[in-house]
Structure 1
């Protein structure tokens, strides 16, 4: 029987080091140079450009494995759009979360019209079940796009006023993205922003448990289980803490 190649085939650094660097980047509000310094403290000499390559190569795969194993999303979808500046040009980051705040999908687009809303609806439906209800602001692009998608024909559509802060589930969930934007001193290209934030959401939420709702012992137990799952996602055969 032919043995399959390792996920890290061709890399001279141990898998634990690579997976740890990728996890730090997408889990915490760290820059590439911050991770370079953290690894150097642990006697691992690697440049920030190498870490960038690791994140580009492994981030998407890790995020997909996280999404594939997480619980089924809730039946209510909260959709909204937020403005981001890419090299001084305004873009819209379309976002969808369920009633628990779990990010379903994102899409960076230039426009805010019916075609953009329809494109986003289809993207969300490709990787998530049809919701029972969707909650949006009063942007007219949403109902116009929804009317042309057969899967959403019988889905209840609830409108809220943005000024009333009724759609807090979607509004609150964008805070980590804003923090990420400030830490990186703004995003650059639409392609890199889409790729980076698509990995950032699932990986961050995999470890970001609702600590304020859990007793300390239960929180540590669940967090330990998340680390065990991460070792499976990253195909690690040893605990990363034993490498450093």
Structure 2
């Protein structure tokens, strides 16, 4: 809820937990679901083999409107990866004492997700040494990206 108006954060997450796209919208209907799917397909460039969502009926309607032949699964436990990816953002939102405006929230979410994708580890990395190497590479990328912007 931002300034007494309810907003929905639509999020697409891949099988490794990386956040692909996020949109903050005031509606939770077919048009909003279609907007997320359209943005996601444009950014990714390729169509996914399957799409796992919660049981919201608007995903099915949006997929039908767009004539997508993607295998669509909606089951209570299948979208746990996407639901759990909200937790770090919600913790940060609590620390910041909520968001003041929708635009500020959208900007924060996109930057927060990009940094989280860079520094977070994949589910396929299992050893401590691999995680350590991944973290060193992430900090090196972050250093080079911030040095270019100065």
Distance 1:218 1:145 in 2: 40
Q: Does the Cα contact within 8 Å between 2:16 and 2:122 map onto a contact in 1?
A: no
Which residue of structure 2 aligns with residue 28 of structure 1? none
Cα distance in 1, alignment partners of residues 92 and 14 from structure 2 = 21
TM-score, normalised via structure 1 length: 0.56
Q: Kindly indicate whether the alpha-carbon contact (under 8 Å) linking 2:23 and 2:106 is maintained by their aligned counterparts in 1.
A: yes
Residues 1:139 and 2:61 are matched in the alignment:
no
Whether contact under 8 Å (2:17, 2:122) holds in the other structure is: no
Distance apart, 1:210 and its partner CA: 5.3
Quote the residue 1:239 is aligned against. none
Moved over 4 A (4+): none
1:93 is paired with a residue whose SS is strand
With over 3 angstroms needed to count, the CA separation of the structure-2 counterparts of 1:222 and 1:166, relative to structure 1, is closer
* Structure 2 residue corresponding to 1:159, chosen from 61, 74, 80: 74
Task: Provide the alpha-carbon RMSD of the alignment.
Answer: 1.9
Q: How far apart are residue 120 of structure 1 and its match? A: 1.0
Matching of residues 61-140 of structure 1 within 5 Å? 85-128=1-44, 129-140=46-57
Distance 1:167 1:210 in 2: 17
Deviations 1:190-236 (A, max 9, x none): 11111110110011221122598322x33322222222222322235
Q: Which runs of 5+ in 2 are unaligned?
A: none
Indicate conservation of the 8 Å contact 2:119/2:135, yes or no.
yes
Residues 1:160 and 1:231: Cα distance change in structure 2 (over 3 Å):
same
Cα separation, 2, equivalents of 1:134 and 1:97: 10
Counterpart Cα distance in 1 of 2:69 and 2:48: 10
Spell out, residue by residue over 1:92-135, the C-alpha distance to the aligned partner (whole angstroms, 9 max, x if none).
00011011111000000011111111111111112113111001
The whole-number CA distance in structure 2 between the counterparts of 1:207 and 1:87 is 31
How many residues of Structure 1 are paired with residues of Structure 2 in the alignment? 146
Structure label with greater radius of gyration: 1
